[in-house]
Amino acid sequence: MIQQTIDRLYNLRLRTMADAYFEQKNRGDCGGLSFDERFQLLVEAEWLKRLDKRGKRRLGEARLKQQQACIEDIDYKSHRGLDRKQMEDLATCHWIRAGRNVILTGPTGVGKTWLACALCNRACREGLSALYYRIPRLTQEIKLARGDGSYLKLLEKLARASLLILDDWALSPLDGQTQHDLLEVIDDRAGSRSILVTSQLPIGKWHDLVADPSVADALLDRLVGTAIKIELKGGSLRKA
């Protein structure tokens, strides 16, 4: 009967629960547990396994530049202006559920992309969907989507994710159709879905890099309004 139960668990695709059940039967320290306690352990094992698989799948879909970055590995010893309490608060992902933005600014090599990927990693482990894009690659993908007729489908994909990371913002001037495309992407998410922006330039210089002043006003209003701003400082960590 035990083997039959295990076989049926496998047939029901409850492989982890089956393995945990088999392990319980071969351990000598579970006899003192009640039926409810033992059953809870089996369900917990299956639930944790599925949660882990979903998190890994979301990480794959996010296409992070630095897949291994995670909140637990943040280095607070280097003097970058990071506040541990603030980062721990961001790690709860409450800001994502509230639809708030985060803006990371600072010189090159100070760890902006790594921190963005670490926050995205946590979001995926918390059951939230995410997408990572460098601005040059995103604008190129939008151009290609316009050409092959998948533009609206791409916009829906960008609007649907719980968190959208825009890396290397304001690395070069935004003009022509690019500025309008980015406004479209950001406007679809304004107030309902979070955006995490990284930039080498301080926020005060962003406006001048957008060719159309009215578009610049709209972009900054939607991105910066109630955003959580983190200004990093110091030398390049890559040299270290």
> Where is pLDDT greater, at 238 or 81?
81
At 20, the pLDDT band (50, 70, 90 cuts) reads: confident
Instruction: Find the DSSP H helices in the chain.
Output: 2-11, 15-26, 35-62, 84-90, 94-97, 112-125, 135-148, 151-160, 176-189, 213-224
At 97, the pLDDT band (50, 70, 90 cuts) reads: very high
Type of residue numbered 226 = T
- As a whole number, mean pLDDT of residues 182-198 equals 95
Percent of the chain clearing pLDDT 90 (strictly above):
54
pLDDT at 94 over 90: yes
**Domain boundaries, given as residue ranges, for the chain:** 2-61, 63-231
Spatial contact of 230 and 112, defined as CB atoms under 8 Å apart: no
pLDDT at 151 over 90: yes
Type of residue numbered 118 = A
Percent of the chain clearing pLDDT 70 (strictly above):
94
- As a whole number, mean pLDDT of residues 221-225 equals 93
pLDDT at 170: 87
pLDDT at 75: 84
The two structure tokens encoding residue 124: 């995926």
Tell me the average pLDDT of the chain: 87
Which of these CATH numbers, 3.40.50.300, 1.10.10.10, 3.90.1150.10, 2.60.40.420, describes 63-231? Answer: 3.40.50.300
pLDDT at 224 over 60: yes
pLDDT at 211: 93
| Residue 101 CB neighbours (<10 A) | 26
pLDDT at 7: 78
Nearest to 127 by CA among 86, 92, 98, 156: 92
pLDDT at 240 over 60: no
pLDDT at 95 over 70: yes
pLDDT at 29: 63
Spatial contact of 95 and 123, defined as CB atoms under 8 Å apart: no
pLDDT at 239: 59
pLDDT at 236 over 80: no
